[in-house]
Structure 1
């Protein structure tokens, strides 16, 4: 007898991803959902529902149905309504950190509207591992709380998100897990024993002061100045090769483009090694796995290091960093309130104490594995119950 088959909608994932972090979330969640389907003894077909992106494929060889979220798609009966009816379950990842009211109202409307439709259609909605909140305005908080209450399952990816959910809707049963990017497949690369290999993931967004310019995120350190001081300090040491590792490749979004920022730094400091643009998040993680150390301000570049055992000092500009890494008891990050001197010292100390960082990363692995297993087991149960119906 052939295995039962279900149709799974992947809301706010990415078929193509200029931001390799989105690619990491998509490929990671796909790997876990496929694992859950195998565990449940069923076949799963997937359709990605998200905004159009001109970037590379989120996963090598990815060939899934996809829908482009537009205003027309949201209201056309042949659009989201039809897809919600056609799907047996929807896994919504909210692009990792977009289920909040800190962004413009238009973005909030899209992120919540795509959740409300399947709920109203009776299609089970799962809030896959993601940042939840903060919510500080009405009616945004009330809408978000209603969505969480109506979702079939809610999976905050860190302790701060769990706390935000409990404040938002304390009656919602939820399970704290981990970021699905920890499950991103990669090919481990050999180390280079002759010289220290240091990766520098430069955020084009922070080099430009954020989307609004200036110091949009209220950071205690000057990111652009810190980046240049770090490069100059490491070049003066002369004991390492420095690799620029862009994680957002977005020429169509110049204020957000790591690749362009890396090119400018390479022109200013010719001794730097500028890695060619990666064609997938897995390719970036594979390269990172061969480094001796990485520092960066794109969270999923730093997860790529952490999950491949590479000592890393993340540079935080958002509470999602503290929430994620703090949940592992990993204190080796540049906090938002640090000034330039403290931030630089934290990174340089991390380089010198790489063995200590590696030990802390290894200690977190059982917790990561347990979080991923909890999520897969829950999905397998949901998939099986849906298939039985």
Structure 2
């Protein structure tokens, strides 16, 4: 029997994270849980959470101990909801992160704590070891949800035939009515990840494209705001330094936006004409409040999810010769009143997907720990 106030661990998402995408995943998961268990006790952990026992360093202290730090933490919970940080269940960010995620999943399975992989990108896994780890993780999970059809098929190819398709957890967040209030024109999220050397795209090319895009918009008398979606911290790829560097280059011609919270960034996005960004959750946040977005894709996580939403306005930085030109052509040819109506219409489908996810989650039995 499921307890009325189950203890639930939400993995790889955090309401206090400087990455507003991880905050969206955390609060979206909380919204889903509250629809089924309004009195649930939720705990959030990422590898960077303060005093977390679920870190790469803890794996070595846990692996040969029957009561290691990770085992002691996981046995406290009735269920685990693993968000995969949205797109981290892959080896493209390195094997160390994947090994940590897989080890936590393995310990949960050993302790018989039900583990649900919440809607997320699954794969790709470019290494043989990565595919082996992923296959075992998918097999031992209680339930698996992909957030796009490509991830769904990928999970099935790895042997998890019962994978279900949903969509991103950002669409579970409450929406504030900003109808008729357009305070900003073009909001550009400048990605600190791509602004410096990275394994995804050529950073010099990305910098030139951002600068060319802003030049083109200003020449068209468009108002430009630069947005940080990963806030300032010791993490070197946060967006704030990149946003401020671009801001210094353009001076008073652009507005700088550094939000204080997930609520504040959603308010900024809701009152824009269009949002352009390489942080996918900046674009998903935008669409989830009914504002058109043009994602600048740097990996395979972008297009399948956007296409499954019925949103085909995106530019692939890996294959497009001139992202700034293509984006300006999109902006010049788009009636954004019509585009906003399209964005609002897609929310009907995402609302339904989130309701289905909550209902399915309620059907999954959770254990009852000693109280």
Same fold, TM exceeding 0.5? yes
Further displaced range: 80-89 or 353-362: 353-362
Runs of 5+ in structure 1 lacking a partner? 55-65, 211-215
CA deviation map 1:182-224 (0-9, x unaligned): 123354447566x8621111111112242xxxxx324799221
Asked if 2 retains the 8 angstrom alpha-carbon contact of 1:11 and 1:49, the reply is yes
CA deviation map 1:138-160 (0-9, x unaligned): 23212211221221110001111
Asked if 2 retains the 8 angstrom alpha-carbon contact of 1:200 and 1:243, the reply is yes
1:6 equivalenced with 2:9 (yes/no): no
Cross-structure match for 1:23: 23
Asked if 2 retains the 8 angstrom alpha-carbon contact of 1:220 and 1:340, the reply is no
1:52 equivalenced with 2:37 (yes/no): no
| Alpha-carbon distance between aligned partners in 2 of 1:221 and 1:314, rounded to the nearest angstrom | 19
CA deviation map 1:254-306 (0-9, x unaligned): 3x12111111111110110012x222222211111011111111101101111
Asked if 1 retains the 8 angstrom alpha-carbon contact of 2:34 and 2:40, the reply is yes
Asked if 1 retains the 8 angstrom alpha-carbon contact of 2:227 and 2:256, the reply is yes
Question: Which of structure 1's runs of 4+ aligned residues deviate more than 4 A?
Answer: 188-193, 218-221, 385-389
User: Which of residues 39, 49, 70 in structure 1 aligns to 2:55?
Assistant: 70
Determine helix, strand or coil for the equivalent of 1:339: coil
| Alpha-carbon distance between aligned partners in 2 of 1:363 and 1:295, rounded to the nearest angstrom | 20
Q: CA RMSD in A?
A: 2.5
Runs of 5+ in structure 2 lacking a partner? none
1:234 equivalenced with 2:217 (yes/no): yes
CA deviation map 1:153-183 (0-9, x unaligned): 10001111112111111x4301100000112
Q: How many residues align?
A: 361
1:243 equivalenced with 2:228 (yes/no): no
1:297 equivalenced with 2:278 (yes/no): yes
Asked if 2 retains the 8 angstrom alpha-carbon contact of 1:226 and 1:340, the reply is no
Further displaced range: 366-375 or 301-310: 366-375
Residues 1:151 and 1:100: Cα distance change in structure 2 (over 3 Å) = same
CA deviation map 1:40-96 (0-9, x unaligned): xxx311122322258xxxxxxxxxxx8342245443425221222221110011111
| Alpha-carbon distance between aligned partners in 1 of 2:98 and 2:322, rounded to the nearest angstrom | 37
TM-score (normalizing by structure 2): 0.89
Asked if 1 retains the 8 angstrom alpha-carbon contact of 2:316 and 2:323, the reply is no
TM-score (normalizing by structure 1): 0.85
Cross-structure match for 1:57: none
| Alpha-carbon distance between aligned partners in 2 of 1:345 and 1:155, rounded to the nearest angstrom | 33
Cross-structure match for 2:74: 84
Further displaced range: 221-230 or 282-291: 221-230
